């Protein structure tokens, strides 16, 4: 989960959080485990590389930004200073939407996450449903819920018509944004497609757009060009797409996953729907008939990048203070 030259939009949320910590004065070194381009080879020798990096940089603390094998190896390799693991979704929840062989791989990752959670000095999770998925006694009870921070400077309301003209979207139609590549099974593009098809039957002239291969710097334009953002995932932690849409005051229709219900609570013009094409279409129709924006941006102030960074610093301090009085552990 970190941008590369080949895939500059992957893991931008982590990159931005790293920068926000640096802005607060922390010295942060990044060891990128490039799983996406190197496959399982990325794990070969990772424990040794991490120990070398720790010896070279002498960090006060190691923060792993995702669970699974990386967290398992990190908590096994580093025993003389605190390791904090940040769990974000499928690393604890798995995925029922994938093909069988892929589900088995993900299940092994969940097992690795649970072992890592037991060994970690602290665990951070994106949402309460992820906290509930942690094993009993994880991280000695040192567990915090901290949703990923949102860049409220980058994600802000823009003129809808100008954004549509920039993207070449039809001005005489309404536009639904599916905030993920259609090929990601757990996002259920087919369900979104079926819901939008029902809108067409009911007289709406609607285009469905998938967010795929879009530079992160361009995502605010796509959000602001849309009438509504539609989330149909099987599972989530704290989906950034929902928070980014709300930061732009763009309505959201979503199934009840992760912390979405909490995010949409009290916001007129946003809806939780059952995971059926019929109910999604009904809720989308309500948004499209209203045709406006929502008043949501201020609900995100507590999870801005800056405030989230300060929460992380406070957690680091608490973990480090506790570690001073705790002897180094043996490998498990």
The pLDDT of residue 294 is above 90: yes
The CATH 3.40.50.2000 domain(s) of the chain lie at 12-149+305-324, 160-300
- Express as a percent the part of the chain with pLDDT over 90: 78
Quick: pLDDT tens for 198-209: 999 999 999 999
User: What value does the mean pLDDT of the chain take?
Assistant: 92
The pLDDT of residue 330 is above 70: no
Cα–Cα distance, 213 to 249 (Å, whole number):
23
228-231 and 252-255 beta bridge pairing: parallel
Quick: pLDDT tens for 273-290: 999 999 999 999 999 999
Q: What pLDDT shows up at residue 314?
A: 96
* Superfamily for the 160-300 domain: Glycogen Phosphorylase B; (3.40.50.2000)
Could you tell me which residues come within 8 angstroms of residue 158 by beta carbon, excluding any fewer than 6 positions away? 220, 221, 224, 248
Residue 174 · residue 204 · CB < 8 Å:
yes
Q: What pLDDT shows up at residue 36?
A: 82
Determine the average pLDDT of the residues in 47-58: 92
**With bands split at pLDDT 50, 70 and 90, how would you rate the model's confidence at 332?**
very low
Contacts by 46-55 with C-beta closer than 8 Å and gap 24+?
Answer: 46/70, 46/73, 46/74, 46/77, 47/73, 47/74, 47/76, 47/77, 48/77, 50/74, 50/77, 50/78, 51/77, 51/78, 53/29, 54/78, 54/81
Q: What pLDDT shows up at residue 135?
A: 93
**With bands split at pLDDT 50, 70 and 90, how would you rate the model's confidence at 331?**
very low
The pLDDT of residue 26 is above 80: yes
Q: Which CATH architecture has domain 12-149+305-324?
A: 3-Layer(aba) Sandwich (3.40)
Q: What pLDDT shows up at residue 100?
A: 67
Quick: pLDDT tens for 148-189: 999 999 999 999 999 999 999 999 999 999 999 999 989 999
């Amino acid at each position: 989960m970190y941008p590369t030259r080949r895939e500059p939009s992957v893991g931008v949320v982590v990159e931005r959080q790293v920068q926000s910590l640096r802005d607060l004065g922390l010295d942060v070194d990044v060891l990128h485990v490039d799983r996406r381009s190197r496959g399982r080879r990325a794990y070969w020798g990772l424990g040794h590389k991490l120990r070398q990096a720790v010896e070279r940089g002498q960090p006060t603390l190691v923060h792993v930004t995702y669970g699974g094998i990386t967290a398992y190896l990190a908590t096994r390799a580093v025993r003389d200073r605190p390791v904090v693991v940040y769990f974000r979704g499928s690393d604890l929840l798995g995925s029922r939407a994938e093909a069988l062989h892929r589900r088995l791989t993900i299940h092994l990752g969940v097992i690795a996450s649970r072992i890592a959670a037991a060994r970690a000095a602290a665990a951070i999770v994106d949402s309460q449903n992820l906290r509930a998925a942690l094993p009993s006694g994880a991280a000695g009870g040192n567990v915090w819920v901290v949703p990923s921070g949102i860049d409220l400077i980058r994600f802000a309301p823009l003129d809808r018509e100008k954004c549509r003209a920039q993207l070449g979207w039809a001005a005489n139609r309404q536009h639904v944004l599916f905030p993920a590549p259609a090929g990601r099974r757990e996002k259920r593009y087919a369900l979104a497609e079926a819901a939008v098809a029902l809108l067409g039957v009911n007289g709406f002239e609607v285009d469905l757009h998938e967010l795929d291969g879009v530079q992160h710097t361009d995502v605010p334009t796509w959000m602001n060009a849309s009438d509504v953002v539609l989330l149909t995932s099987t599972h989530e932690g704290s989906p950034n797409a929902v928070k980014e849409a709300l930061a732009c005051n763009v309505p959201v229709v979503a199934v009840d996953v992760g912390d979405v219900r909490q995010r949409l609570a009290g916001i007129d013009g946003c809806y939780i729907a059952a995971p059926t094409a019929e109910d999604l279409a009904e809720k989308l129709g309500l948004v499209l008939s209203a045709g406006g924006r929502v008043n949501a941006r201020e609900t995100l102030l507590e999870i801005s990048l800056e405030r989230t960074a300060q929460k992380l610093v406070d957690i680091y301090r608490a973990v480090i203070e506790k570690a001073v009085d705790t002897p180094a552990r043996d490998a498990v």
